Amino acid sequence: MASGQETRPVVLVIEDEPVMRLMALDLVEDAGFEALEAYGAADAMRLLETRPDIRLVFSDIDLGTGMDGLRLALAIRDRWPPVGIIMTSGKVQPRPEEMPARGRFFEKPYRREEVATALLEMAA
């Protein structure tokens, strides 16, 4: 790496709704992270398999078709234990036992500052 160039931690944003995805990507980048985007669970798993630099996942629970965000979060916790996980939903309120270990949940509409703080804490 060239001197003076710093790497930003990478956050994978998983959201099937385009407007919500763009808002989440903006939040992540404003908090100082590099943001990658996935449209659903299968897309997210492909990125996790090819990008070992992903440090955090910020995902909606309701991902439309395929695996939901909670099942995806548990799969991520099993395969990539160090990856931090933040889940969000406006429809589902997960019980504590449904959340992955060390995972955080924010109900939609979430407060940008609270999510940004959680991302920064989890990346530290």
Structure tokens at 8: 């930003």
pLDDT, the chain, mean: 94
pLDDT attached to residue 5: 58
* Bigger pLDDT: 120 vs 64: 120
> CA 101, CA 78: separation in Å to the nearest integer?
10
In the chain, what's the furthest Cα-to-Cα distance?
46
> 23: pLDDT confidence band, cut at 50, 70 and 90?
very high
> CA 11, CA 37: separation in Å to the nearest integer?
9
> CA 39, CA 123: separation in Å to the nearest integer?
23
The structure's pTM equals: 0.93
Q: pLDDT, tens digit, for every residue of 61-115?
A: 999 888 999 999 999 999 999 999 999 999 989 999 999 999 999 999 999 999 9
Domains of the chain (ranges; CATH) run: 10-123 (3.40.50.2300)
**Do 14 and 40 form a contact (C-beta atoms < 8 A)?**
yes
Q: Hey, which residues does 106 pair with through a beta bridge?
A: 88
Q: pLDDT, tens digit, for every residue of 28-68?
A: 999 999 999 999 999 999 999 999 999 999 999 999 888 99
Structure tokens at 70: 């909670």
pLDDT attached to residue 64: 85
The beta-strand segments (E) located in the chain are 10-14, 34-38, 54-60, 84-89, 104-107
Nearest to 69 by CA among 84, 83, 81, 86: 86
pLDDT attached to residue 3: 46
Q: pLDDT, tens digit, for every residue of 1-20?
A: 444 457 899 999 999 999 99
